[in-house]
Structure 1
Amino acid sequence: MKNQKKTISIGISVYNEVGNIENLLYSIIRQDKTEFNLEAIYVICDGTNDGTDILVEKLAQKFSIIRLLNDGKRKGKIRRLSELFKLNLSDVLMILDGDVVLGKSNTINEVVKCFEKKGVFLVSANNQPVKGDTLVGKIINYSIYIWYFVRLSFNYGDNIYNARNCCIALRKEFVSKINFPPQIHSYGRYLYLLCQQEKQKFVFAKNALILYRKPNNIREYIMQTRGPFSDKEKFEEIFGNWIKNKYKIPLKYKLLAILNTFTQNPFLFISSVTLKFIIKQFPFRSISSKNSAVWETVISTKKPISVPF
């Protein structure tokens, strides 16, 4: 007898996502639901002031599965996630950023299938950048591709670098264990480490495609790439010294990535490595404090992404 379908809810915390939120919601609604029953799509507005709430409310009138929550306050992503966790009654809760879209009609199916394995508490989808339409965009994307090659090959994808903030799913039993510490930013990595501490399993769902947009200028690229690494010391205080090994990747995986990606496109490889080197030579300080729960918006990533199916 076939197992009963798992139930799933989607949680989206948004701040000024009027450009893309409709596309994201349609990419969820259009999903093939072979493996799951979709119970709710929670959209929680975090002090949005660009009309995102008005647009979502109109869509909620058309699709009753969409639930809008809006108290008009700006609290920050982590506090909003904690609120979403309290709302969840489904077998699986999937957290998405507002500036992404699901890349295929079977994306959620691929995520849910991972939870069929015993002991899997946390699953990350595979976020990939949309194609760059400028040379700078292509160079930035190729640097992402090089790193993707590394994190995909190491430990079959089971590593802290694949716990992606923008597209992560949790088993219901795991959701109830989470109490975020204040002022963390990389909640995907926090959840990964918590999962490891609980002796439970993480899966990187390679075939669960999520599309997002990288910055199209150097300043915002620096903001986005440097931000997540500020949590490492805080995580060590929370979990202990054992987490240091979770950040280590053997040299052979990096060399393999260099060989493969250089062979595929020498020009973009050299350009992306040069860009990384140049960025490291100049000091950069974000406007947002690393202790702030409210993050600085990366404007160029907020352009709408077309639903590809």
Structure 2
Amino acid sequence: MKTLSIGIPAYNEEKNIGLLIETLLKQKLDDIKLLKITVISDCSTDKTDRTVNSSTDLRVNLVKNIERKGKAFSLDRLFSISEADVVVIIDADTVIKDTNFLQKLVSPILNKGADLTAAQIEELPSRSFVGQILDASMKFKKNIYYKYKNGQNVYTCCGRARAFSKKLYKSIKFGKKFTSSEDAYSYIYCNINKFTYYPVVLAKIYYKLPQSLPDHISQSMRFFNSKNELTDNIDDNILKTEYYLPTSLIVGSFLKILTKYPIILFYIPILVLSSLQSKFDRSSNTPWEVAISSKNI
């Protein structure tokens, strides 16, 4: 039987890490065996480490970075210590509602020859005005991303939940070049090196959007900085191809969402503000961008 390991990079995730581990241990797996769940704590200062260590399941273990290194470093470390046939990486601030989530996420690797899969992200309900604007913006974006090339594009390869074949995770390395862009880079690396990517729309992972403008701008810096990282390290022609989206699809999707969620109009100035902020701040080496309001899930 094929084997599975789960890696959870975490920094100050005491509010959710216990529930996430409990949920993962209750997952139903048909043709793959869960070997272990490894939480890599990036110098957490809250009760994250204590919560992980309190688990009585021997498959749950904690690995601590001796200094803050960020998610990309933690992924490299997870891959280096893993030997399972499949490694699933899950963000610590996410919610899983489906007991078959893991089986759905790894199935294309087990049965269709895929090397990388990504779950479809779903937003938990927002209460704040900013959060509701961002909810509408995500409906707009996902309407584009999953239609374009049937989801076979860089935009659907979200880092919140992915599965890697052993062949891929033993080959890829993020290092210091891709600290903010590790999710996009994993997709591009697949394409360049003839690995196979598969977006799994039936495997849904839930998360909370930032509920304040400062938190959103802080989180947006990761996206803008990720493109800067990729530009610095990957051929421009490759990036233009990977990030291309048809104008007709963008306009059509915006008009469709506008009729249902007119609040999306407020997203335009937010996008402009975030973009302008990124022009003055190219510091992509921050170990971990934390949007506090997105942690209250």
The alpha-carbon distance between structure 1 residues 259 and 272, as it changes in their structure 2 partners (threshold 3 A), is closer
Tell me how far apart the structure 1 counterparts of residues 84 and 112 of structure 2 sit (CA, whole Å): 18
**Which amino acid in structure 2 is aligned with residue 167 of structure 1?**
A
Q: How much does 1:72 deviate?
A: 4.0
SS in 2 for 1:32: coil
Q: Is the CA contact (8 Å cut-off) linking 2:177 and 2:229 kept in structure 1?
A: no
* TM norm structure 1: 0.88
The alpha-carbon distance between structure 1 residues 124 and 130, as it changes in their structure 2 partners (threshold 3 A), is same
Alignment partner of 1:253 is 2:249 = yes
Q: Which sections of structure 2, spanning at least 5 residues, go unmatched?
A: none
Tell me how far apart the structure 2 counterparts of residues 55 and 90 of structure 1 sit (CA, whole Å): 25
Q: How much does 1:274 deviate?
A: 2.2
1:149-298 superposed matches below 5 A: 149-184=143-178, 185-240=180-235, 241-263=237-259, 265=260, 268=261, 270-281=262-273, 283-284=276-277, 290-298=283-291
Bigger mean CA deviation after superposition, 144-153 or 96-105: 96-105
Tell me how far apart the structure 2 counterparts of residues 32 and 43 of structure 1 sit (CA, whole Å): 20
**Which amino acid in structure 2 is aligned with residue 129 of structure 1?**
E
Bigger mean CA deviation after superposition, 222-231 or 50-59: 222-231
The alpha-carbon distance between structure 1 residues 272 and 248, as it changes in their structure 2 partners (threshold 3 A), is same
Q: Is the CA contact (8 Å cut-off) linking 1:288 and 1:296 kept in structure 2?
A: no
1:1-309 superposed matches below 5 A: 4=1, 6-59=2-55, 62-184=56-178, 185-240=180-235, 241-263=237-259, 265=260, 268=261, 270-281=262-273, 283-284=276-277, 290-303=283-296, 305=297
The alpha-carbon distance between structure 1 residues 28 and 177, as it changes in their structure 2 partners (threshold 3 A), is same
Count of matched residue positions in the alignment of Structure 1 and Structure 2: 294
Between the two proteins, what is the percent identity of the paired residues? Answer: 27
Tell me how far apart the structure 2 counterparts of residues 246 and 148 of structure 1 sit (CA, whole Å): 16
Tell me how far apart the structure 2 counterparts of residues 289 and 251 of structure 1 sit (CA, whole Å): 27
SS in 1 for 2:159: coil
**Which amino acid in structure 1 is aligned with residue 185 of structure 2?**
Y
Tell me how far apart the structure 2 counterparts of residues 287 and 198 of structure 1 sit (CA, whole Å): 34
Bigger mean CA deviation after superposition, 183-192 or 116-125: 116-125
Query: Which of structures 1 and 2 has the larger relative contact order (alpha carbons within 8 angstroms, sep 6+)?
Result: 1
Q: How much does 1:243 deviate?
A: 2.4
Q: Which runs of 4+ in 1 moved over 3 A?
A: 116-119, 285-289
| Cα deviation digits, residues 163-198 of structure 1 (max 9, x gap) | 111211110000111121414212110010100011
| Cα deviation digits, residues 51-74 of structure 1 (max 9, x gap) | 110111001xx1111011124422
* TM norm structure 2: 0.92
**Which amino acid in structure 2 is aligned with residue 218 of structure 1?**
L
Q: How much does 1:118 deviate?
A: 4.4
Q: Which sections of structure 1, spanning at least 5 residues, go unmatched?
A: none
- RMSD over aligned Cα, in angstroms? 2.1
Tell me how far apart the structure 2 counterparts of residues 135 and 291 of structure 1 sit (CA, whole Å): 28
SS in 2 for 1:116: helix
SS in 1 for 2:277: coil
